Structure 1
Amino acid sequence: MSSIDAGPYIFDNSGELVWAGAADFGGVFANNPHVCQWKLRDHLCFFLGASHRGFGRGVGMILDSTYRIAATVQVGGSTMSAGDMHEFRLVADRSALISIYKVVPYDLSPFSVTDRIGWISESIFQEIRISTGEVLFEWSSLEHEETSPRNAVILPGATTIGGNGLDPGTPWDYFHINSVDKTQDGDYLLSSRHMSTIYKISQVDGHVVWQLSGQDLQTSNHTLLHPTYHKDFNFSSQHDVRSVAENATHSILSLFDNASDDLTTTSTHSRGLVISLDHTSHTASLLSTRFPQNTTHQMLSGSQGSFQLLPNANAFIGWGKWPFFSEHTLGDGDDNATTVLWGQFAPDASDTDIMSYRVRKYNWTATPHDHPAVYAYAHNDTTGVGTVFYVSWNGATDVAAWNFYSVAEEPDGDQFAKRGTGSNTLELLGTANKTGFETRARMPDKYAKWVFAEAVGRDGQAIRRSRICRTFVPAVGRLRDVCDEWGCPAMLSGVAAGKMMGPGDVDWGAVGYDGGFGGRTRYPVQPRKEPPGLAWQVIPQLVALVLFLYIAMIFLVGLAAAAPLAHDAEGVAEAEPIENLVARQYDSRCLGGCANRATCCGDN
């Protein structure tokens, strides 16, 4: 895949393209597109920026359901760096988690770098308030002993991605943060690929609450400031660690176990894992393991990868450096799981130039802000030859059919609103059901010079119209001879390049242009939704009025209750002291719902 094609993509369950994000955000690196919740609505989130060796530089993007930019998230504080591609994730509908790689000078003399200052990649993450850019929390791997180079597993120069630390272009990436999540109690769960370890980080001061190492660590080399978790399984170079559930004694998490860094392996295949941690007995156990049982491809991914638990209890896996994704039932054990979906997004399964860091599955509904795109073709401009339409709408999810119209040339300003009145009329040439990303339809009865397409929803209502397009007709005696009723050949392989020519070799009189319509692009008047009936316009106002009156009544009653009791000449009982009311309010006998409240609590 060329760099111009790189970007976020959406496909449906049939493998049909829905949205090619490269059309809007192509030419740069996009990572981890997924549906996120912001302002109580579904949005599309992903990282956008540049990719370097093992990390990225860019920003977090939040798109609304029209594919317009709703917000961007940049790192803050004094990191003097940009957001990284590995993690951009929204939490609690208000903030975002984002990873950061910061290259800093470092004393690497203990690692035999003694002829110069060394360079190290510091793994950082921040939680940032989306609306203001305020940094709510920041954590650095260099600020804590357990996550410092003292506990490194991959040494300088051991791997290409790990770097040798000799200059800023090849910093030693000893930690390699690749996912961050927020737990239910407000702490953070992060993954270190190069340490093959998962950490829970305190929201208070950033200390390590607990850690789960995929491999048995040598205690002589590693600092263990808290109990380890005993387990009878392993993992390594993991990605996409997520908090699934937790309580005071247990934590459940999921991850993609790469089991390889392209140099060493810990299993015959990569896999998705669901793990339970018992914080009382300090044991870790496998709840589920998922990988395709029947595939001829060795599913061992030395980089990237994702594992997602779906609402229906299935598991969805992205296979990282390999151009595959799959969905599996959980079943009641590995042997009983079923692969229900298998996808491949590269013609050659061994092509590792086409890959995806994460693949996700969500429900997603979108109506793009822009208009459908249409191309019209006719083999000649004679009556009865027919007009062929090629139409698509990048990102639209609710189109069921297309209407195709012809338009008279040089219309007046309000011609499209009249829908068939006056001399300049619209003519419906035909309708075709949507088929895949691009629909091809031939209207056989008539050649139409100026046309447009209209998207129709599943409810039969028109959604949006394309611009007015001039039908392409190939020139007589030249291009027309190699064209047919559907179109002209394009991008033919093995065709020799044309000879060099000068101005005298050009038939200037045959050069065409899309003249007409006053020399400017024209769009038809867009479909209008029927306004709601009178009842639906009045009901919200009545509801608002009732709520206002109800709140006002509560406020007035509260004022009356708070007013001091009057003491007239006849003598009125004094108000009960506030300390007695508070004491009775929280009396344990009053909280259990006793049968006789007056007896239990003294109420009259």
Structure 2
Amino acid sequence: RPEISAPIVTLEILRLEYVTPGYIFLAPYRNIDSGPYIYDNNGQLIWSGAATQGSSTAHNVQVCKYKGSDHLCFFQGHQHHGYARGHGVIMDNRYRVVQTVEAAGSATSTDMHEFRLINDGKSALVTVYSPRQFDLAEFGIGPGVGWIMDGVFQEIDVETGDLIFEWRSLDHIAPSFSYTLAGSTDTNGDGLTAETPWDYFHINSIDKNVDGDYLISARHMAAVYKISGQSGRVLWELNGANPTFRNENLHFSSQHHASWVHENQTHTILSMFDNASNGPNRTNSESRGLIIAINHVEKKASRIRQWLAPEKDGNGIVAASQGNLQILSPNNVFIGWGDHAYYSEHLDSGEAVMYGKLAQWGSNVNIYRCNKFQWKAQPLSKPAIWSYSLSGTDDNDLVIYTSWNGATEVRRWKFYVSDSSKGPWELAGTKDKSGFETEYHIPYAKMWSFSEALDQNHKPLARSSISKTFVPSTGIRDLCDKRHCKPVPPLDKGEEFEKLIPKVSNRGANYTRGYDTSIYYLDVLLPNMKLVGLGWPAALVVFAVAGFVLLFFRHTARKSVRRAHEFVQTQVVRSPVMGSYMKVEEA
């Protein structure tokens, strides 16, 4: 898959025995191919969403429950400075988009900061950033009317798109309580135009409890709020300018991803990512993951757990934006380090067991949130394959490269080869899956090949298309080795590519034209295609009849029904079809 330009993870496994099973879900942006990605615990690519849908900004890739089964959910849209505009995407485990979620009512489009399904996917929580005209004279913005960003969240019916609940920050919390004045950072706006409204609130997470109330985080207020699901009234405020509780051994600012952990009549436990910095200002020497306990009887809040980035110097890191904390089962936590594009997994004690980096600090690559989940997927697409031989003769290996973007259950590959695209096919060997792309060497040359993916029980999952072996011509062979050829070198400064192109003397006379593209796909094979060395099952007649029906419709588009019928009668009954070998494998 040469079009896949996935980021390479630099991974430290610090305590392998304590790393939880699952896959890493993330969506880097400002890189070559922005989009959703999945990696395994070894830092190997599993799925490039950019290769599936094309490169586009995505955020907060997560496994979500929708109609009783696991799906993928993420935001997709256009990145603005400090927020985004787009919609929520729901994919099934074959990577098909089955639903999208838009903002409802009179709101502008959905924002990146939260897209979360609840109630088995019946409703979704989303953030909305809504610019409004506002009198900002008391803040020194004028003369004339200014612009402010209203922090909005909605609960939306996923199937109908109807609005279930909406809350707007300007209806409840005055801009004068903000800790981030207009124009004081590079993302919060100067309040002068509709394109640069003052983002006084900056809502960046939503959660909902069993009582129907909401928990939201507002970065620019340095506060977390509990909101009544009935009236929208602020029930309590943690930290911020008007705190309900007295902080004990606790302070945080510019935080992200506040979530419920546990709640009863007397206590609330919640988690969050404390950035402790917005760039210009800091309230702690390091960013950290936090677990916070609120005692409603004594009206106090305290820190009960914290986790720092496992930098070798022991000093952690400061993430000036973005980030999240996810509680894993049984007691581990998973942390995304925001604008550093790092992630880590930790024990309850604070010790790190894994530390991954997608980019070096200062590269400008960001990840809004990183998540970890169990996931099982089998894409609709076929496995990819490319085969290569330095000479096309038996004195050089045939090298086959195969992969299957997004497949989680592949454990081994089988490789079949032939001198003809029509077969017969020879099983050349098997190899355990190795990373995203598996490389297999055969000590002789064949011109055609395909691969077959097997699961842990050796059950076939899917077959690739058929690949014609690439053999470099004598004109470039000196730049090739036994595995591949070197690319065309870049031009020197001032050099013109056209002057390097040699004259073609044969005008393409030896170019093979006129292939029927059906030769590349095993589900529409010609009737004389066969596998050798595998034996034939007694159920040949059943497969021959299936081949008859398939070939009948296959040839109708090109020949008359009569000629197709004659062709099938004379060849299919006497020749095994490709499907037969599946029966042999099961026997």
Task: Give TM-score scaled by structure 1 length.
Answer: 0.78
Q: Return the letter of the residue paired with 1:285.
A: S
Matched, 1:86 2:113: yes
Residue number among 364, 369, 373 corresponding to 1:358 in the alignment: 369
- 1:65/1:365 contact within 8 Å kept: yes
Q: Return the letter of the residue paired with 1:473.
A: V
Q: Which residue of 2 aligns with 1:524?
A: 522
Q: Return the letter of the residue paired with 2:523.
A: V
Secondary structure at the residue paired with 1:366?
Answer: coil
Q: Return the letter of the residue paired with 2:36.
A: P
Unaligned runs of 5+ in 2: 1-28, 526-587
CA distance in 1, matches of 2:264, 2:439: 55
- 2:178/2:201 contact within 8 Å kept: yes
C-alpha root-mean-square deviation of aligned residues, in Å?
2.3
Shift of 1:25: 3.1
More divergent stretch after superposition (513-522 vs 56-65)? 513-522
Q: Which residue of 2 aligns with 1:323?
A: 341
Change (3 A) 1:96 1:521: farther
Q: Which residue of 2 aligns with 1:67?
A: 95
Change (3 A) 1:202 1:271: same
Change (3 A) 1:250 1:391: same
Change (3 A) 1:293 1:455: closer
Q: Which residue of 1 aligns with 2:480?
A: 483
Residue number among 328, 332, 343 corresponding to 2:356 in the alignment: 343
Shift of 1:3: 5.2
Shift of 1:507: 4.4
Q: Which residue of 2 aligns with 1:367?
A: 378
CA distance in 2, matches of 1:381, 1:428: 19
Q: Which residue of 1 aligns with 2:452?
A: 454
Shift of 1:138: 0.8
Change (3 A) 1:380 1:516: farther
Shift of 1:368: 0.9
Equivalences for residues 34-45 of structure 1 within 5 A = 34-45=62-73
Change (3 A) 1:398 1:504: closer
Q: Which residue of 2 aligns with 1:139?
A: 167
Per-residue CA deviation, residues 355-407 of structure 1 (Å, 9 max, x unaligned), is 21111111111111111111111112224533111111111111111111124
Matched, 1:171 2:197: yes
Matched, 1:439 2:456: no
- 1:325/1:344 contact within 8 Å kept: yes
Equivalences for residues 148-163 of structure 1 within 5 A = 148-163=174-189
CA distance in 2, matches of 1:138, 1:246: 23
Shift of 1:410: 5.6
Q: Return the letter of the residue paired with 2:80.
A: H
Larger RCO: 1 or 2 (CA < 8 Å, sep 6+): 2
Equivalences for residues 556-571 of structure 1 within 5 A = none
- 2:141/2:192 contact within 8 Å kept: yes
Change (3 A) 1:12 1:479: same
Secondary structure at the residue paired with 1:126?
Answer: strand
Shift of 1:491: 6.7
Q: Return the letter of the residue paired with 2:486.
A: P
Residues paired across the two proteins, number: 494
Equivalences for residues 90-489 of structure 1 within 5 A = 90-93=117-120, 94-144=122-172, 147-213=173-239, 217=241, 224=242, 227-292=244-309, 295-296=312-313, 298-331=316-349, 337-346=350-359, 349-407=360-418, 409=420, 411=422, 424-445=423-444, 447-476=445-474, 478-489=475-486
Q: Return the letter of the residue paired with 2:436.
A: F
- 1:304/1:319 contact within 8 Å kept: yes
Shift of 1:492: 5.4
Shift of 1:509: 3.7
Per-residue CA deviation, residues 405-424 of structure 1 (Å, 9 max, x unaligned), is 1245463xxxxxxxxxxxx4
Shift of 1:442: 1.0
Shift of 1:287: 1.6
CA distance in 2, matches of 1:318, 1:58: 22
Identity %: 41
Q: Return the letter of the residue paired with 2:351.
A: T
Secondary structure at the residue paired with 1:142?
Answer: helix
Moved beyond 6 Å, runs of 4+: 493-496
CA distance in 2, matches of 1:397, 1:306: 25
More divergent stretch after superposition (486-495 vs 275-284)? 486-495
Change (3 A) 1:181 1:523: same
Shift of 1:440: 0.9
Change (3 A) 1:465 1:519: closer
Equivalences for residues 9-20 of structure 1 within 5 A = 9-20=37-48
- 1:404/1:429 contact within 8 Å kept: yes
Secondary structure at the residue paired with 1:360?
Answer: strand
CA distance in 2, matches of 1:513, 1:108: 71
CA distance in 2, matches of 1:474, 1:512: 14
Change (3 A) 1:512 1:159: farther
In our comparison, the structure showing a higher alpha carbon Rg is 1
Change (3 A) 1:38 1:511: farther
Change (3 A) 1:142 1:479: same
Change (3 A) 1:449 1:410: closer
Change (3 A) 1:508 1:270: farther
More divergent stretch after superposition (381-390 vs 201-210)? 381-390
CA distance in 1, matches of 2:450, 2:216: 51
Change (3 A) 1:526 1:135: farther
CA distance in 1, matches of 2:500, 2:487: 24
CA distance in 2, matches of 1:48, 1:2: 14
Secondary structure at the residue paired with 1:150?
Answer: helix
- 2:185/2:279 contact within 8 Å kept: no
